[in-house]
Chain A
Amino acid sequence: MENIKKEVLPDGEMVMEDILAKYPPKVAKKRSKSIVPNDSSREQSIQSNVRTVPGIITQRGCCYAGCKGVVLGPTRDIINLTHGPIGCGFFSWLTRRNQTRPGPEGDNYMPYCFSTDMQDDNIVFGGEKKLKEAIQEAYDIFHPKAIGIFATCPVGLIGDDIHAVAREMKEKLGINIFGFSCEGYKGVSQSAGHHIANNQIFKHVVGLDDKRKKGKFLINLLGEYNIGGDAFLIEDLFERCGLTLISTFSGNSSIEQFANCHTADLNLVMCHRSINYVADMLEKKFGIPWMKINFIGANASAVSLRQIGKYFNDKELSRRIEKVIAEEMPAVEEARKEVMPHTKGKLAMIFVGGSRAHHYQGLFAEIGMSTIAAGYEFAHKDDYEGRKVLPDLKVDADSRNIEELVVEKDPERYKPRKSQEELNKLKKAGVRMKEYDGMMPDMVKNSFVIDDISQHETEMLIAKYKPAVFCAGIKEKYTVQKRGVPMKQLHSYDYGGPFAVFKGAVNFYREMDRTINSKVWGLIKPPWDSSPEITATFGSE
Chain B
Amino acid sequence: MLLRHTPEEIKERKALTVNPAKMCQPIGAMYAALGIHGCMPHSHGSQGCCAYHRSTLTRHYKEPIMAATSSFTEGSSVFGGQANLVQAINNMFTIYNPDIIAVHTTCLSETIGDDVNQICQKARDDGKVPEGKHVIHCNTPSYVGSHITGYSNMLKGIIKYFSKSTGIKKDQMNIISGWVEPSDMKEIKKIAKEMGIKIVLFPDTSDILDAPQTGVHAFYPKGGTTIPELISTGDSKFSLALGEFATDAPAKDLNSKCKVKFKTIDLPIGLSATDRFIVALSNAADVDVPECITEERGRLVDIITDMQQYFYNKRVALFGDPDQLIPLTELLVDLDMKPVYILSGTSGKVFVRRIKEILAESVPNAKVKNGANADLFLLHQWIKNDPVDLIIGNTYGKYIARDEDIPFLRMGFPILDRVGHSYFPTVGYAGAMRVLEKILNLLMDRQDRDSSEESFELVM
Q: Contact residues of A with B, CB < 8 Å?
A: 22-24, 27, 51-65, 81, 84-95, 102, 107-109, 111-120, 122-123, 130-134, 136-138, 140-142, 152-154, 156-158, 183-186, 188-189, 397-398, 401, 455-456, 459, 473-475, 477-479, 481-484, 524-525, 534-535
| Known A-B contacts A87-B142, A119-B143, A477-B58; A22 and B95 likewise in contact (beta carbons under 8 Å) | yes
CA distance A95 to B85 in the complex (A): 29
Complex interface: chain B residues within 8 A of A115 (CB)? 16-17, 20
CA distance A41 to B87 in the complex (A): 38
CA distance A22 to B95 in the complex (A): 6
CA distance A188 to B73 in the complex (A): 7
B54 x A475 contact (CB < 8 A): yes
B74 x A152 contact (CB < 8 A): no
Complex interface: chain A residues within 8 A of B58 (CB)? 474-475, 477-478
Complex interface: chain A residues within 8 A of B108 (CB)? 153-154, 157, 184-185
B337 lies within 8 A of chain A by Cβ = no
CA distance A153 to B71 in the complex (A): 13
Q: Which of B2-24 contact A (CB under 8 A)?
A: 2-5, 7, 11, 13-20, 22-24
Flag the segment in B213-221, B262-270, B319-327 that touches A: B213-221
| Known A-B contacts A57-B96, A137-B13, A477-B58; A87 and B24 likewise in contact (beta carbons under 8 Å) | yes
A482 x B107 contact (CB < 8 A): no
| Known A-B contacts A57-B66, A185-B73, A397-B75; A483 and B46 likewise in contact (beta carbons under 8 Å) | no
B63 lies within 8 A of chain A by Cβ = yes
A112 x B89 contact (CB < 8 A): no
| Known A-B contacts A86-B22, A188-B73, A475-B65; A123 and B84 likewise in contact (beta carbons under 8 Å) | no
* Least Cβ–Cβ distance between A125 and chain B, in angstroms: 12
B51 lies within 8 A of chain A by Cβ = yes
Sample (29) of A-B pairs whose CB atoms are under 8 Å apart: A23-B91, A51-B71, A54-B69, A54-B85, A55-B90, A62-B47, A84-B107, A86-B20, A87-B25, A91-B53, A95-B56, A112-B19, A113-B20, A116-B15, A118-B143, A119-B143, A136-B15, A141-B5, A142-B5, A184-B45, A184-B46, A188-B73, A398-B73, A455-B66, A474-B59, A475-B65, A478-B63, A482-B215, A483-B217
Q: Which residue of A lies closest to B10 (CB)?
A: A141
Sorted from nearest, which 10 A-B pairs have the closest CB atoms?
A62-B48, A87-B24, A55-B88, A55-B91, A133-B15, A91-B52, A54-B88, A153-B108, A61-B51, A482-B217
B16 x A137 contact (CB < 8 A): yes
Q: Which residue of A lies closest to B14 (CB)?
A: A133
| Known A-B contacts A92-B52, A116-B17, A484-B215; A22 and B94 likewise in contact (beta carbons under 8 Å) | yes
B27 lies within 8 A of chain A by Cβ = yes
Complex interface: chain A residues within 8 A of B53 (CB)? 87, 91
Point out which of A23, A27, A108, A117 has the most chain B C-beta atoms below 10 A from its C-beta: A117
Complex interface: chain B residues within 8 A of A93 (CB)? 19-20, 396
B197 lies within 8 A of chain A by Cβ = no
A157 x B17 contact (CB < 8 A): no
A117 x B20 contact (CB < 8 A): yes
A475 x B55 contact (CB < 8 A): yes
* Least Cβ–Cβ distance between B319 and chain A, in angstroms: 13
| Known A-B contacts A54-B87, A153-B45; A91 and B112 likewise in contact (beta carbons under 8 Å) | no
B49 lies within 8 A of chain A by Cβ = yes
A157 x B14 contact (CB < 8 A): no
Q: Contact residues of B with A, CB < 8 Å?
A: 2-5, 7, 11, 13-20, 22-27, 42, 45-49, 51-56, 58-59, 62-77, 84-85, 87-92, 94-96, 106-108, 111-112, 141-144, 146, 211, 213-218, 345, 372-373, 377, 396, 399
B11 x A140 contact (CB < 8 A): yes
* Least Cβ–Cβ distance between B220 and chain A, in angstroms: 13
B84 x A54 contact (CB < 8 A): yes
Name the contact of B143 in the complex, choosing from A102, A123, A479 (C-beta under 8 A): A123
* Least Cβ–Cβ distance between B317 and chain A, in angstroms: 18
B52 x A87 contact (CB < 8 A): yes
A24 x B48 contact (CB < 8 A): no
| Known A-B contacts A62-B51, A111-B3, A153-B106; A90 and B24 likewise in contact (beta carbons under 8 Å) | yes
CA distance A236 to B91 in the complex (A): 50
CA distance A63 to B24 in the complex (A): 18
Name the contact of B71 in the complex, choosing from A22, A53, A133 (C-beta under 8 A): A53
Complex interface: chain A residues within 8 A of B345 (CB)? 86
CA distance A142 to B7 in the complex (A): 9
* Least Cβ–Cβ distance between A74 and chain B, in angstroms: 16
B18 x A112 contact (CB < 8 A): yes
* Least Cβ–Cβ distance between A491 and chain B, in angstroms: 10
Complex interface: chain A residues within 8 A of B70 (CB)? 54-55
CA distance A133 to B91 in the complex (A): 44
Q: Which residue of B lies closest to A478 (CB)?
A: B64
Complex interface: chain B residues within 8 A of A56 (CB)? 68, 71, 91, 95
* Least Cβ–Cβ distance between A171 and chain B, in angstroms: 19
| Known A-B contacts A65-B52, A524-B215; A90 and B91 likewise in contact (beta carbons under 8 Å) | no
* Least Cβ–Cβ distance between B152 and chain A, in angstroms: 16
Complex interface: chain A residues within 8 A of B112 (CB)? 157
A456 x B20 contact (CB < 8 A): no
Complex interface: chain B residues within 8 A of A62 (CB)? 46-49, 51
Q: Which residue of B lies closest to A133 (CB)?
A: B15
B213 x A114 contact (CB < 8 A): no
B217 x A24 contact (CB < 8 A): no
Point out which of A87, A115, A184, A483 has the most chain B C-beta atoms below 10 A from its C-beta: A87
Q: A113-B20, A114-B18, A398-B74 are in contact. List 6 more A-B contacts (CB 8 A).
A: A24-B91, A86-B142, A141-B11, A185-B108, A478-B58, A482-B218
Complex interface: chain B residues within 8 A of A111 (CB)? 2-3, 399
Point out which of A84, A85, A136, A189 has the most chain B C-beta atoms below 10 A from its C-beta: A85
* Least Cβ–Cβ distance between A423 and chain B, in angstroms: 40
CA distance A107 to B6 in the complex (A): 12
Complex interface: chain A residues within 8 A of B88 (CB)? 54-55
B52 x A55 contact (CB < 8 A): no
CA distance A58 to B51 in the complex (A): 8
CA distance A494 to B398 in the complex (A): 19
| Known A-B contacts A61-B48, A65-B51, A154-B111; A114 and B16 likewise in contact (beta carbons under 8 Å) | yes
Complex interface: chain B residues within 8 A of A89 (CB)? 17, 20
Name the contact of B7 in the complex, choosing from A61, A95, A141, A154 (C-beta under 8 A): A141
Q: Which residue of B lies closest to A401 (CB)?
A: B74
Q: Which residue of A lies closest to B88 (CB)?
A: A55
| Known A-B contacts A24-B94, A475-B58; A55 and B42 likewise in contact (beta carbons under 8 Å) | yes
| Known A-B contacts A55-B88, A114-B17, A184-B49; A154 and B143 likewise in contact (beta carbons under 8 Å) | yes
B3 x A58 contact (CB < 8 A): no
CA distance A122 to B59 in the complex (A): 31
* Least Cβ–Cβ distance between B60 and chain A, in angstroms: 11
